[in-house]
Amino acid sequence: MSGDGGAPATAAEPRLPEAAHISTPEGRRLVAQIGDEADRHGRKLLEVRNLSTQFFTPDGVVHAVDEVDFDLDYGETLGLVGESGCGKSVTALSIARLVAEPPGRIVGGEVVFDGIDLLRLSSEEMRLLRGRRIGFVFQDPMSSLNPTMTVGRQISESAAAHLGLSRPAASTRAADLLSMVGIPRPADRLGDYPHQFSGGMRQRVMIAIALACDPMLLIADEPTTALDVTVQAQIMELLRSLSERLRTAVLLITHDLGIAAGMCQRVCVMYAGRIVERGLVDDIFGRPRMPYTRALLDSRPRLDVEPGGRLRTIEGFPPDLVDPRPACRFAPRCAHRRAVCDEAKPDLTPRPADGEGHAARCWGTEAGGWIP
């Protein structure tokens, strides 16, 4: 990784520190081999298979993530979109093994990262791997930055801990990272605290922290929701250019299909804990095969709508995820609902005629279905 201000003064090939605290020899081997390019054999960076996460609450079991299935290529930016409460963040937290347990628990599935199932790693192995290979940018930087620690220290501690850098080298790297994310006079800002930065600048700092260890995957969970539109666009452009330059894969979580379309080639649409459609952005926009995706597209703000005209919203509310209906979860809000939709769960089935890798979960658009 190199910064705007020149190559960082770090070892060219940062290696994992000798992981003496990893519990098993197998674990040490697993963590060390991640990132070995020679060993990829055409596999994906991330393969999420039938991932299910639940919360065990006094009101019942919340089925937050239900058999979620998708993959992400090395260096790819993939969008995960859907309404509030559909399970986007819990999916991301489950991938990074950050779900608070209790009340949460990953109850099934696999999260294969660079060939290794993360759900089999011990917490220590996972902590090491997360810091080194997976960066996380949260929606609200104020709640994830430490208000009592300078930003320089927050960035350099991560670099020092995971890359084994000396204090001066870590500090140089922190300045390089601040420069790379577009903070002016980076060396002078290392001693500043988070409250001394604007909202957009704090989000840039979060991105610098997430990139401190040169991760293979950056998970960006609604990274711009709290920002105004102009700053949003700048942060998105920063993420796009950095991921391209550093060849970092990004899982971009957003409720805004427009943002996903501007950043990603492929998107997954989530509804009530399940992936209901996935495919190339052009195919999803051009020929959505799940009525919920169509409704999401129709509810986007548009420039060609008459001024003062009402924005179309999706009628009804997302379902309660405590004991949700086993069949189609969108049925109570769907204009195309038929008896079968209430009787059986539609699978996420391939729709090759509607685009490469296109898949949808809807009885009405299955072969012989009633939706054209």
Ligand X SMILES: Nc1ncnc2c1ncn2[C@@H]1O[C@H](COP(=O)(O)OP(=O)(O)OP(=O)(O)O)[C@@H](O)[C@H]1O
Q: Is 254 in the site for Mg ion (CB under 5 A)?
A: no
**DSSP bridge pairs for 2:** none
Supply the minimum distance, in Å, between the C-beta of residue 254 and ligand X: 9
How many residues bind ligand SF4, per CB under 6 A?
13
Distance CA 294, CA 195 (A): 41
**DSSP bridge pairs for 77:** 250
**Residue 185, helix vs strand vs coil:** coil
Q: Is 362 in the site for ligand SF4 (CB under 6 A)?
A: yes
Q: Which does 109 bind (CB under 5 to 8 A by kind): Mg ion, ligand X, ligand SF4, none?
A: none
Q: Which does 363 bind (CB under 5 to 8 A by kind): ligand SF4, Mg ion, ligand X, none?
A: ligand SF4
Supply the minimum distance, in Å, between the C-beta of residue 310 and ligand SF4: 24
State which residue, 89 or 232, has the beta carbon closest to Mg ion: 89
Distance CA 281, CA 265 (A): 6
Distance CA 366, CA 110 (A): 27
Q: Is 363 in the site for ligand SF4 (CB under 6 A)?
A: yes
Supply the minimum distance, in Å, between the C-beta of residue 65 and ligand X: 7
Tokens of 290: 């799940």
Distance CA 211, CA 131 (A): 10
Residue 53 has phi, psi (to 5 degrees) of -130, 135
Choose the binding region for Mg ion from 83-91, 124-132, 302-310, 312-320 (rule: CB under 5 A).
83-91
**CA distance to 45, 94, 306, per residue, from 48 (Å):** 10, 10, 42
Choose the binding region for Mg ion from 87-95, 149-157, 200-208, 321-329 (rule: CB under 5 A).
87-95
* One-letter identity of residue 180: M
DSSP state of 317: -
Supply the minimum distance, in Å, between the C-beta of residue 56 and Mg ion: 20
Q: Is 255 in the site for ligand SF4 (CB under 6 A)?
A: no
State which residue, 68 or 181, has the beta carbon closest to ligand X: 68
CA nearest to 329, candidates 290, 279, 369: 290
CA nearest to 52, candidates 324, 318, 263: 324
Give me the residues that bind ligand X (CB under 6 A), please.
Answer: 55, 57, 62, 64, 82, 84-90, 100, 103-104, 255, 321
Among 334, 348, 355, 359, binds ligand SF4 (CB under 6 A): 334
Cβ contact 104:96 at 8 Å: no
Among 49, 240, 337, 345, binds ligand SF4 (CB under 6 A): 337
Cβ contact 96:268 at 8 Å: no
Residue 118 has phi, psi (to 5 degrees) of -65, -25
- Strand ranges across the sheet with 349-350: 134-137, 217-221, 249-254, 77-81, 266-271, 274-280, 359-360, 349-350
Choose the binding region for Mg ion from 85-93, 256-264, 309-317, 346-354 (rule: CB under 5 A).
85-93
State which residue, 137 or 331, has the beta carbon closest to ligand SF4: 331
**CA distance to 54, 200, 224, 233, 335, per residue, from 140 (Å):** 24, 11, 8, 16, 36
Q: Which does 191 bind (CB under 5 to 8 A by kind): Mg ion, ligand X, ligand SF4, none?
A: none
Q: Is 291 in the site for ligand SF4 (CB under 6 A)?
A: yes
Among 10, 89, 232, 248, binds Mg ion (CB under 5 A): 89
Tokens of 332: 């109570």
Supply the minimum distance, in Å, between the C-beta of residue 334 and ligand SF4: 3
Q: Which does 291 bind (CB under 5 to 8 A by kind): ligand X, ligand SF4, Mg ion, none?
A: ligand SF4
Q: Which does 57 bind (CB under 5 to 8 A by kind): Mg ion, ligand SF4, ligand X, none?
A: ligand X
Q: Which does 8 bind (CB under 5 to 8 A by kind): ligand SF4, Mg ion, ligand X, none?
A: none
Q: Which does 330 bind (CB under 5 to 8 A by kind): ligand X, Mg ion, ligand SF4, none?
A: ligand SF4
Residue ranges that bind Mg ion, judged by CB under 5 A: 89
